[in-house]
Each structure stands twice: as structure tokens, then as C-alpha cells.
Structure 1
Amino acid sequence: MAEKVLLVDDEQNFLEALFERMRLRGMEVSVATSGEEALGKVENDTYDAIVLDLMLPGMDGFEALKIIKARRPETQVILLTGRATVEMSVEAMKLGAMDFMEKPADIGQLIVKIKKAQVRKMILVERKSEE
């Protein structure tokens, strides 16, 4: 089953390159260029993983993460940032991020994390349906 991924980043070139590389690996990929646009997509669709840039215009990645986790707790979010700090990483995990990666993200590592996210989400959805 193909991994369903939402990429959220305001850097157009980065977004297009990542989109293409993931699509070539058989993933079903959607894109958003802002936190608000991402929330609209999350409202209307489900994703195995959301790759979310921390530095977005308007609503930042932390704010978007909080809302995504409140609306769809089973969704796995991987945060990306160009300027990572230990504090940011800790904050991301507290807010429910599955992982935190520094840009430029190694595509191989990112793909592995997305595959793990899909498995985690399936387990959470299965547990919920058993309850």
C-alpha cells in the first residue's frame, strides 16, 4: 500500500524536488505551502505522514502541529527545519511530532521515517477501532 504523504513547505524549489523524489518512490503525495492550507487538506483527507516545515509564513509549524494532532491524533508528523535546536526538538516531541529532522533532509532517512509513520498510524487506527 502506497504511503500517503502531505508535504508542507513554503520553499517552492524544495517542495517540488521532494515531491518528485517521493512520487518516484511510489508514494501518494500532496503539497501545501502554508499551515493554513495544510489544515484545510487535513480537514478533507487523511495522511499516513505529514512532513511539516517549522518556519512557515503566518502560522508556524508548531501551531499547525498542535491543530493537526488535536483534529487527527493518529496522523504522524515529521517536522523539518533549517535551524534546529535541542529546545525545538524537545518542544516538537511534547506537541506530538513523531520526529524532527534538519534540512536539507536526507531523502533516504526521510523515506524510512515515512514508512515507520504509516505503520504507526495503522496500529493507532486499529487500536481505536477495537475500542
Structure 2
Amino acid sequence: MVNPSPAPIELLLVDDEADFVSVLSKRLEKRGIRVTACLSGSDAVQEFLKKDFDVILLDLKMEFMDGIEVLKVVKETKPHIPVFMITGHGSVEEAQLGVDCGAVECLPKPYEIQDLLQKIQEAVSSRKESIHG
């Protein structure tokens, strides 16, 4: 009997830069990751509350509801989901605040897609091991 292939990683991508979201979504989807993209923190919270995700990529700086606010909602409601903060213009202090609030890591833009994929896969594997034991 052939083992079924593992379910694809479900990723929530949150960034207010539409071009960045479009490009990164396509690059991740080409590598077998299912991406749900949101251009605002409030849209992300709505998606997050109605669907289960394996991992979240969350922009630090957004208008109205920033990444730290979204991160706090995630960690209050589904603390087991790994969250990576991403930033093109955040300070070291802001990046550290994200980690202090429960993010796995704060990643600067731009980054190598292979490095990002490795971090995503490691976080998802680690989460699955802690759940299944």
C-alpha cells in the first residue's frame, strides 16, 4: 500500500504590500504550499478565526491593525500556531517585541525563498511533533 502524500502546508500570509503578497504567494504555491493572502490585519483575523492554518507569515508594519496586534490575537486564541513576523522597515526593538509576544522569529525582507521554506517546514514539523508527541 502506498502512503498518501502529506497534506500541503496551509499558510496565512498577511502584508499590506499587494505586489509583495502576489509574488510571494506564487512562489510558495509553486512549492506546494497553500496560501491564503490578506492585505490587512483585520482581514487576517477574520480568516484566522474561520480556518485552521499550519503557519502564519505576518508583516510587522501595517496600517490600522499592525502585526503585533494580530500576533496577540493569534496567541490568545490558537497559541500553538507558529508565526513569523516579516518586515522591510522595522527596527530591532520592534522585531524583538514580535518575538517577545510569541513569534518564532522576525525575518527581514527580502529573504531567500529556500531559507524561508526551510524555516516554515521546520516550524510546522516541530508543531506537529509537539501535538502528536
| Alignment TM-score, normalising by the size of structure 1 | 0.91
Do 1:49 and 1:118's aligned partners in 2 also have CA atoms closer than 8 Å?
Answer: yes
Q: Distance in 1 between matches of 2:100 and 2:61?
A: 18
Moved over 3 A (4+): none
Q: Distance in 1 between matches of 2:51 and 2:11?
A: 11
Select the residue among 105, 124, 133 that pairs with 1:118: 124
| CA deviation string 1:102-125 (max 9, x = no partner) | 011221111111101211221343
1:95 equivalent in structure 2: 101
Do 1:76 and 1:120's aligned partners in 2 also have CA atoms closer than 8 Å?
Answer: no
Q: Which amino acid in 2 is paired with 1:110? A: L
Structure 1 runs not aligned, ≥5 long: none
Q: Which amino acid in 2 is paired with 1:123? A: E
1:9 equivalent in structure 2: 15
Aligned-residue Cα RMSD (Å) equals 1.2
Q: Which moved more, 1:62-71 or 1:81-90?
A: 81-90
Structure 2 runs not aligned, ≥5 long: 1-5
Do 2:14 and 2:38's aligned partners in 1 also have CA atoms closer than 8 Å?
Answer: yes
Q: Which amino acid in 1 is paired with 2:61? A: M
State, as a whole percentage, how many aligned pairs show the same letter: 33
| Alignment TM-score, normalising by the size of structure 2 | 0.89
Confirm or deny that 1:55 pairs with 2:61: yes
Do 2:60 and 2:90's aligned partners in 1 also have CA atoms closer than 8 Å?
Answer: no
Structure with bigger gyration radius: 2
Select the residue among 26, 35, 43 that pairs with 1:37: 43
